[in-house]
Chain A
Amino acid sequence: MTDPALEVINLKKAFGGLAVTQDVSLVVRPGERRLIIGPNGAGKTTLFNQISGDLRPNSGQIRLFGADITGLPPYRRAHCGLSRTYQIITLFAGDTIQHNVSLALLGLRPSRWQIWLPMSHYRDIAVEARQALDAVGLLHLADRSISDIAYGERRRVELAIALAQRPRVLLLDEPLAGLSNAERTTVKSLIASIPRETTLVMIEHDMDTALDLAETVTLLNYGRVIVDGKRDAVIADERTREVYLGT
């Protein structure tokens, strides 16, 4: 049996007396589509921040394809094939969309240390950046600045940045938040078209919208895993209804 793409073992994190991650364990198989749901404050984003390295857990372990990454800084995790998007959009507002995606490509190349030649020297970065933008349907806006485009389009730029890195594991933090119905459909089909080489772990606050993208679902509440398993089994579970659907 191959190593899981992502494994979280007994993860614990507390801010002072407030335990936000309590003994969370997860196993995500390669190629899996995992949805993490839970009400506000369930600890979903905190869990993501620990997986991506923005936060250090108090105890527990995080493994990527069998390798322990718990102690690695975020940039090392990126080089291990982990990529993420943010719930609150953090793009480089003054720069062009293509530049935003190019930075993602530069981040994984040794040429990022090079102090002699401009980034435009690397034709392959430009070509790949435009391919990544084409994949999310934004190629026509490549030379526009981030501050010129609409919110829904920025969400897609976030996705293009993450996908340009061809991650082995991709964490999507509320990729559908704040989108109109039409944009939701677009972004959903984009996510659905992500190749199986990339394992997907996705947070969504709103269960209904993201459910058809998922194969497996983990329900978090108060920093604990409540239910974990196949999508239909989790939906049908008594406890899901209790915690999440409020009935």
Chain B
Amino acid sequence: MRWITAALIGGSLLLPPFFAGDFYINLASQILIAAIFALSLNLLVGFGGMTSLGHASYLGVAAYISALLTNRYGFGHGAAAIISISGTVAMAGFFGVIALRATGLGFLMITLALSQVLWGLAYRMSNVTNGDNGITGLTRPAPFGISLENPVSFYWFALIVATMAFVMMTIFVTSAFGSSLMGVRDQARRMAALGFNPWLIRWITFVYAGFWGGISGLLYVYYHKYIHPTSLSITSSAEALLGVIAGGSGTLGGPAVGAALVLLLKNYASAYIERWNMLLGLVFLFIVLVMPTGIAPGFSRLVARMRGERIDDRSRA
């Protein structure tokens, strides 16, 4: 059953370039970017039990570094990408040391504070970041000489990166290390008594999540060819968190579904309803009431019930 679902989803991701118009292909590309971002946040929230409200830092900083290097300092896209990801990972390492002094609510507040500092810098340090005007006139890279300027080629590029991200993060959480991570999430004290170092396990996960957050940031800036401080804002972090929780935190694919939902409401429904935020709130309320563990676990339970199977509350999609 799970394989059929996976094959269906995988297959449908191959379809847009053949059927859809440019508008929808671009929407699909954005969904893929948001999905990578949400999946990386899910490593912290779902698998590590570390609820972060500052994950936009990694998306935003990677995007800003790449934008500045290519636009202002004349770097090529390859070098800019490497420096931007290394810089983001280093920052995640440093932020991790600060934020992981606490767990739970304290951790959340520290991640929020750190990301607010960056957001403030992006706004106020306008001689570097161009402040509220953002950085415009960016270009997309051309890997192996293939231009990504048209929507279809960019979609394929985003799909390849998203697939790699999904596979790599899935391997991460299903590995022996992933088992340790979930153990630390559930019983940190017991895990320490068994010989695991909870702090280091959390920190490594924090950095890994920062890495994939940075990757999504690169795609983000390539796609929009523009970067503005709002991408570092608490709204940006909160939307991703909303996607993770709505889709099903701690599930492998759920956050991608949740991210797609948030993005569709934001970019598509907002064309018809001015108060799309209200709609987002109502949809979220509906999910919390009807499928408290998220869309993905909710649907797999629904399917199981229709097939007359025993319902296992702990089943994870």
Choose from B171, B194, B198 the contact partner of A161 (Cβ within 8 Å).
Answer: B194
B176 at the interface (CB under 8 A from A): yes
A90 at the interface (CB under 8 A from B): yes
CB pair B192 A106 closer than 8 Å? no
Whose C-beta in chain A lies nearest to the C-beta of B316? A94
CB pair B190 A86 closer than 8 Å? yes
| Cβ < 8 Å to B, chain A residues 105-147 | 106-108, 111-119, 121-122, 145, 147
B186 at the interface (CB under 8 A from A): yes
B180 at the interface (CB under 8 A from A): yes
| Cβ < 8 Å to A, chain B residues 174-218 | 174-180, 182-183, 186-187, 189-198
Query: For A73, A102, A119, A121, which residue has the most chain B Cβ atoms within 10 angstroms?
Result: A119
CB pair A92 B187 closer than 8 Å? yes
Query: For A99, A106, A145, which residue has the most chain B Cβ atoms within 10 angstroms?
Result: A106
In the complex, which residues of chain B have a beta carbon less than 8 angstroms from the beta carbon of A103? 179-180, 183, 191, 194
Whose C-beta in chain A lies nearest to the C-beta of B189? A54
In the complex, which residues of chain B have a beta carbon less than 8 angstroms from the beta carbon of A84? 193
B310 at the interface (CB under 8 A from A): no
**A94 CA / B194 CA spacing, docked (Å):** 18
A97 at the interface (CB under 8 A from B): no
Whose C-beta in chain A lies nearest to the C-beta of B183? A103
B157 at the interface (CB under 8 A from A): no
Knowing A90-B187, A92-B183, A94-B314 touch, does A74 contact B175 (C-beta < 8 A)? no
B172 at the interface (CB under 8 A from A): yes
For chain B, the count of residues having a C-beta within 8 Å of the partner chain is: 24
Interface string of B144-175 (1 = CB under 8 A from A): 00000000000000000000000000011011
Knowing A75-B196, A103-B194 touch, does A90 contact B179 (C-beta < 8 A)? no
Distance in angstroms from B293 CB to nearest chain A CB is: 12
Choose from A74, A86, A104 the contact partner of B192 (Cβ within 8 Å).
Answer: A74
In the complex, which residues of chain A have a beta carbon less than 8 angstroms from the beta carbon of B189? 54, 74, 90
Whose C-beta in chain B lies nearest to the C-beta of A117? B175
**A165 CA / B183 CA spacing, docked (Å):** 17
Whose C-beta in chain A lies nearest to the C-beta of B197? A75
**A115 CA / B172 CA spacing, docked (Å):** 5
Choose from B171, B182, B191, B194 the contact partner of A115 (Cβ within 8 Å).
Answer: B171
Choose from B171, B175, B182, B193 the contact partner of A78 (Cβ within 8 Å).
Answer: B193
CB pair A115 B175 closer than 8 Å? yes
Whose C-beta in chain A lies nearest to the C-beta of B312? A145
Choose from B176, B190, B195 the contact partner of A90 (Cβ within 8 Å).
Answer: B190
In the complex, which residues of chain B have a beta carbon less than 8 angstroms from the beta carbon of A147? 314
Choose from B182, B196, B314 the contact partner of A107 (Cβ within 8 Å).
Answer: B196
A83 at the interface (CB under 8 A from B): yes
A79 at the interface (CB under 8 A from B): yes
Q: Enumerate 19 A-B pairs (CB-CB under 8 Å) in ascending A order.
A: A54-B192, A54-B193, A74-B192, A74-B193, A75-B191, A75-B194, A75-B197, A78-B192, A78-B195, A86-B190, A94-B314, A106-B180, A112-B176, A114-B175, A115-B172, A118-B175, A118-B176, A118-B179, A161-B194
